[in-house]
Structure formats: structure tokens, C-alpha cells
Structure 1
């Protein structure tokens, strides 16, 4: 094995550092042009057309896919194919986002007049604001000159990472402007494991249902009576739900709650006391048609393992346990 054939971890580390440090520096440089580009994309009533050639074209395809999956109607247009008929995909009212590090790629430059002639706005994502693309665009988002990590200084590395990072920032900024929700995201991802976990409803995930494996008892009973009623259900959950005289959820009593009660009142006849003295009043709850990921987010936020499931009249229909949600991706927030 020659010296050149040995794995050069130092080069790998320098490559990661070069790309990471350059991207980190961009956070302090984006400003008015970026904000204007985000506003134009958000306001667009047509489609967002991403275009680029070579490695920039691959980044453009990825950004188009990201936009499409986060609420922005987007397509990728190959610049060479555009000059041979596919330009017909661009319509008045569209926004074309052209990616080119040099801003002088022949295929992109040849496309510019035709894009404007179609009545579309042009946003440039480039490393050179003074390039033909940078000067001609309606809005130019420039990340500036970079030193490629390639030992030869030739292969696009840092430049393409900058394009990808700025493009992702644009896509996610517009996504937030649209108030795009996890439910919206789930609707665009129906296939595969991601889609299944995002679309899974509480009613489909919960193991314990009223009348099957869940004790639902009146809160007017004594603790002893309530336990006896709950035990009539085979293989019950680790909690019982309490209801008022109109059948609405009024409380929850978990096995852990019961152990604490018995330890605290050791030697006392607690079984003769009203169960409502020991239950958690007005517990957190969720509707059966809510996303299971929302249930997990509530459990995580309030540090609970069981969450009552209710119908539209606040009557319990089941309980979802944290064990029902293994493998579910939690939301980053708890919707109101």
C-alpha cells in the first residue's frame, strides 16, 4: 500500500471543518436579500422552479423536493432540457431559483433571458453577486467566495454545502411563514415508516379500550368499590378512569397513585373513603382522532405514562399507554 492509498483522516477532518465553519459563518451574513427571497417565494401563486447544472443541479433537485414536502409547490427544471422544450413548464407568476456557484455557467446564463421572457421572477443563489446570474436576477442571495475542501481545489464541496444550507434555510423559513403543521407534513408523507408513524391516530394505536381492557368507574364510589369494579376487566391497564354522573371524564387513578396512597395512609381504612379523594382531577386527555405523535408529545411534556382518550362529549373511550407509542416520533411542540 502506498502512502497515497492510506486513509487520510486529517483530510477528512479538514473537509468537515471547512464545510462546517463556512456554513456557520453564513448565519451572520444573510440579511435583506434572503428575507426578500423568502417573501417572494411565500407570495408566489405559481410554482417555484429550481434549476442548476452539474452538482448545483443535484442540490437544486434536493431543494425542490424539500420545498414540495413542506408546503411549497416546486419542480426541478434541467437547464439544458429547458432550452429544448421544457421551458414551457415555466409560466407567468412562477419564481425561478437558479443555482450556480460561479454565476457564469453557460447553460444557466443562456436560460436567463428566456425565464424573464416567460414573465417569471428570478432568484439567484450564487457565490458571486457580480456574476452574470447575480447581476441579472431580480434577487440575488450570495453566500460569497469560498475555498473548496478538495485537495486539488477543484471538486465542488464547500460551495455545494453552502448552496444546500442556504436553500434549506429558505425552504424552512417559508414553511414557518405558511404555519405548516406536523399534520400537514404527515399528509405529504403517507408512505413508508415515516408516513405510517406520522399518520397513526390515537384510536388506532391505543391498546386499552372501554369495555375491553380498561376500567372506567364512577367517581362517586369508594376506593375499594372502584378497585373491585376495575378488576372485573381482564388484563386491565395500569390506570382506571373515573367519570362523573353524566359519564364525562373527571379523573384518573394509576397504579403508582394507588401505591403512594397506601403507603401514605398505612394502617388506615382508605378503601372506605371516596375514590375522588385520591384521583388526579381533570387529567390531560386527547381525542381518538388526534395523531399518536401528539399524544406522545403530551406525555413527554407532562411526564405521564397514561393518557385518557375521550370522544367529542368528553366521555372516555380508552387510554393510550406510553408502551403503545414505541417507535413513534414525537412532535416538537404540543398543539393547542
Structure 2
């Protein structure tokens, strides 16, 4: 018998067959088991009589002192080998059994790793969807607060601020911190000074956008490919779209026609980019064009309703996926 690294080769092994016995060599190399016989008495060439992979072995048994029986579940056969010594028979049995056990462990570990990876990706998607909906809601509330401030509707401003505080807390929980800017808005609202309030809102909108330009806050997700949809890297484009949508709606409600036209151009510009951010399109882009935005007054409102519903649906589905994986 000779050995090379982890491979094992046994000379003078007999393969028992129904009609005759064949003498040759038995080798274990990697995950393969080979039995080969010499082509001729003086030839150095071998031809394979039996070959299988260890994964296909159903069981290996010893019979007597030096005979082993290998059952191949794929070929549905049992082959018998007679080794030179009981030591070799024990050794090959142990080698194959250990390899089978290791393969089982490796397979289980691989399956576990695959499940863990799917859970990790599902958690990442859920996080991005959650942030996306929170950004959408936050900007919506800020433009409502701005509009009600201009109208001096302070009771409504105070009500909307309470909702805004909740969104700020949710964003902080997702490691997007705008607490400083949010406190400035709350303080400015107490002053009831329109210009101060509007300026503080503009500062927060800018700060929130800048916070999305860095890497994803959770380090364990920074190696995830940006090609994946949705992705943290594309959130800044969704944010620009969000600001354009609610800015346009604000101008529409305030009868600021020139400003509304400009913001609607941005909405159209970002629609295909935003749709590309998601694995499925967020909305039917054919419904929203320069023509429809110009000719119909309800288009932006319809876009807001449709996007809100879709974002809620995506987050719900993603949470369900995480639950099923766990």
C-alpha cells in the first residue's frame, strides 16, 4: 500500500464478481473510489472496473477480517473487495465512513450558511423598504407642516408634528439620526414664526438627504452588492424623487404654478430611476408623463396614493418573507 497526501491506494485488492474475481488496485482520491485492473501482465496501464463517488455510498460493511462490502445507492449495487490485511480493511472502512460523516456535516453547514445568507438578505431588504417608507412619510409630513404653517393653521401644525416625532424616532431606530434638525423644527414651531419654521424644515430636508450618501449604517450589510434591489445605495435617488413629488404637491396646493412646473419636471426625471431601484416596478411609469402631469390636476395626488400603497405592500411582503425564513 502507498499513500499520497490524503489519497489512499491499495495494491493487490480483489474485486469479487459473480463469474470471476478480478485483481487490481483500489484507490480513494478526493471523493472518488476507483478499482482498476492492469490492462496486461507487463503493461503499466490500468482500466477502471468500478467507480463511484463517496456521496453515492449508502453504507460500507465488513465481512470477516479483510472483506468489505460497499453499497452504491445510485447504481443500486453492492460490490465486494478483499483486502490484503484486516488492517487495510479497517482503514478503508474508517476512511470512507469518516469522509461520509464529514460530507454530511459539510452539507448541513452549507445549508445553514445558505439559510443564514437568505435571512440576512431578507433582513437587509426589509430594512431598506422600512427606511424608504419612513423617508416618504417624513417628507410628506414636512410639506404638510410647511403648508399649514403658511396658512397659520397652528392646531394642524401641532398635530402633524406629533406624527413627525414618531417618524424621527423610527428613523433613529434604523440608525438614521436627524434628531438635532428635528428639535430645531419643534423649537421653531413654538415660536410661531413662519420664516423660521420653513427654513428649519429646509435644513432638515437637506440633512436627511446627505445622511443617505454614506454607507449603510449596519456594517454587516456593507458587503452586499449594490446591484441587489432594493439597495441602500439607491435610496438617495428615491429621496430626490420623494422631495420632488411632495414639493410639486405643495406648490399645487399653494397655487404656485411656475414652481409646480419645475418640480414636476424632476418627478418625471426620477420616475425611471426609482422604478429601477426595486426588483418590481414601483408603479406603472406609462401612466405618468410630462403630458399627464401637465393636463391632469390629480396626477400627483394619484402618484402619491399609489406609491404609498405600494411601499406599504413591499414592506409587508418583506416582513412576511423574513418571518417564513426564521
**Shared fold by TM > 0.5?**
no
| Bigger relative CO (Cα 8 Å, ≥ 6 apart) | 1
TM-score between the two structures when normalised by the length of structure 1: 0.29
TM-score between the two structures when normalised by the length of structure 2: 0.30
Q: Specify the structure having the higher radius of gyration (Cα).
A: 2
Q: Normalized per residue, which structure has more helix?
A: 2
